[in-house]
């Protein structure tokens, strides 16, 4: 009987030890549009809006203040809480790309 009690206690401790984890699993968080250097390097003044959409995709939130400005924003946070931000602003005039502003 005493052997059975020791076996039950031991197996309970082993089972419960699996519930204890020293850290919490954190996954990478990403928001916005992923922009590669290859995509950004394809942008050049003179491209039409359609060509920009083909390269970069549609902007997430079109500007209501200035419809000739498109902002592409990407934000990520890795499991170690390192934050990466990237922003590209594109300015159009007469449906042609005239200005590219990149913030790393």
What pLDDT, in 10s, does the model give residues 62-103?
A: 778 888 999 999 999 988 889 999 999 999 999 999 999 998
For residues 35, 37, 41, 45, the Cα torsion angle rounded to the nearest 10 degrees is 40
Taking alpha carbons only, the member of 101, 102, 83 closest to residue 92 is 101
Fold of the 24-103 domain: Beta-lactamase Inhibitory Protein; Chain:B, domain 1 (3.30.1450)
Q: What is this structure's pTM?
A: 0.69
CA angle 80–37–66, rounded 5-degree value: 95
Q: Can you tell me the distance from the alpha carbon of 51 to that of 57, in angstroms, rounded to the nearest whole number? A: 9
CA 9 to mean position of chain CA atoms: 47
């Amino acid at each position: 009987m005493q052997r059975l009690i020791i076996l039950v206690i031991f197996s309970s401790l082993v089972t419960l030890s699996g519930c204890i984890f020293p850290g919490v699993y954190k996954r990478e968080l990403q928001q916005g549009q992923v922009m590669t250097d290859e995509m950004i390097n394809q942008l050049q003044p003179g491209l039409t809006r359609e060509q920009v959409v083909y390269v970069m995709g549609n902007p997430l939130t079109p500007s209501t203040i200035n419809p000739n400005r498109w902002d592409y924003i990407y934000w990520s946070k890795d499991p170690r809480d390192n934050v990466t931000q990237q922003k590209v602003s594109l300015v159009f005039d007469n449906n042609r790309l005239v200005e590219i502003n990149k913030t790393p």
